[in-house]
Amino acid sequence: MHTTVGIIGGGPAGLLLARLLHNAGIDSVVLESRDRAYVEQRQRAGILEQGTVDILRAAGAGARMDTEGMPHDGIELRFDGRAHRLDFPALTGGRSVMVYAQTEVVKDLIALQLADGGTLLFDAEVTAVEGADTERPTVRYRHDGQDKTLTCDYVVGCDGFHGVARNAVPESVRTTYERTYPYSWLGILADARPVYDELIYAHHERGFALASMRSPTVSRLYLQVPNGTDPADWSDERIWDELDARFATDADPGWKLERGTVTSKSVLPMRSHVTEPMRYGRVFLAGDAAHIVPPTGAKGLNLAAADVVRLAEAFTRLHTTGGTDLLDAYSDAALRRVWRAEHFSYFMTTTLHSEPEQSPFQTRLQISQLDRIASSEHAAAELAENYAGLPFTG
């Protein structure tokens, strides 16, 4: 096969790019190493920035999101026995976020891709990307038990941190920046009604906790735990008790979560990672193939969406005018937004989590920062603007 844009990875980034290219009249092929059932059940982020919501609607993928998603106009911070709500629309000039699981975004985009006859191959394991610096790079993959090739005018790697696309950027020109955090998240999905209207971020002497949701009847909850924690060591009752303890406030000490059946339990390590540049020759990197953020700032899926929106605009410019200026500017422009999101995610993570053997001095600094956010409209607006999402382009 030959296509204009070969897309490696059928997650939200690759699928959204394929949709945007289709709407611009540009052909593409999406290669996904997993089967459809796995891709549609892969649990990831559930918070969509205003910009992600807007682009899904504009791409024709917002109908079910607008029916089943849950708009949120803020978050609540709990710390030092207090609770403080941030009103996003008031602080950002009307911007908010949407709770709509990545699984559902992926289902919507897959349905659109297949309905429009776009080429989307599941169980297509990419083994190599060759000729990145030539006019016709080649993607080698295995599908239906056969080794096959896809030649492309351009290749976009949306295949995640462990994918092969990043290897198309030679080590001699590639720089990696990384931080590993000394704690993880123990996350659960539970058939339990959320007793909170918006996400709760809790700073506690025993560690961070986050109350989120997937639907009006399904809770998504997290606890900070040491690296290397085995989920089996945490009984359901122990998890619920610890969550209640970390969310407690002086104003409402009897506040409790609604408990229900825990349907999923896993431990998520925390890290920050950036690969530069995000382009080499005719191969471009997007999403987790180029950058990883800790989930505290809810930026992973949204950063990926911003990358592919920028790429779609660049390919559309090339398609309509022959101009390559936006493609040439992609890496530098995308990385400016990436590093802003990296900093915000780092800030949220280090402000809300406790280091192993953390000193009282460090804890007081964290409380001071959270108190500043609660008492200063300027500090609150800085957090709200970053959380609700900075502009995708520009």
- Please list the active-site residues: 72, 201, 295, 299, 387
Q: Write a three-state SS string for 269-303.
A: EEEEEEEECCEECCEEECHHHCEECCHHHCCHHHH
Which residues, 6 or more positions from 185, have their beta carbon under 8 angstroms from its beta carbon?
210, 222, 223, 224, 225, 267, 268, 270, 295
Give the DSSP letter string of 218-272.
Answer: EEEEEEEE-TT--GGGS-HHHHHHHHHHHH--SS-TT--PPP-EEEEEEEEEEEE
| Pairing relationship of beta strands 261-276 and 291-292 according to DSSP bridges | antiparallel
Q: How many CA atoms lie within 13 A of 265 on its CB side?
A: 17
Residues paired with residue 166 on neighbouring β-strands, in sequence order: none
Q: What φ, ψ does residue 251 adopt, rounded to 5°? A: -70, -30
Residue from 289, 299, 306 nearest 55 by CA:
306
Q: Give the number of residues written for the chain.
A: 394
Q: Which helix (H) or strand (E) holds 127?
A: strand 125-130
Residues paired with residue 151 on neighbouring β-strands, in sequence order: 2, 138
Q: What φ, ψ does residue 310 adopt, rounded to 5°? A: -65, -40
Residue from 145, 143, 146, 150 nearest 129 by CA:
150
Tokens linked to 329:
């500017």
DSSP state of 10: -
DSSP state of 232: G
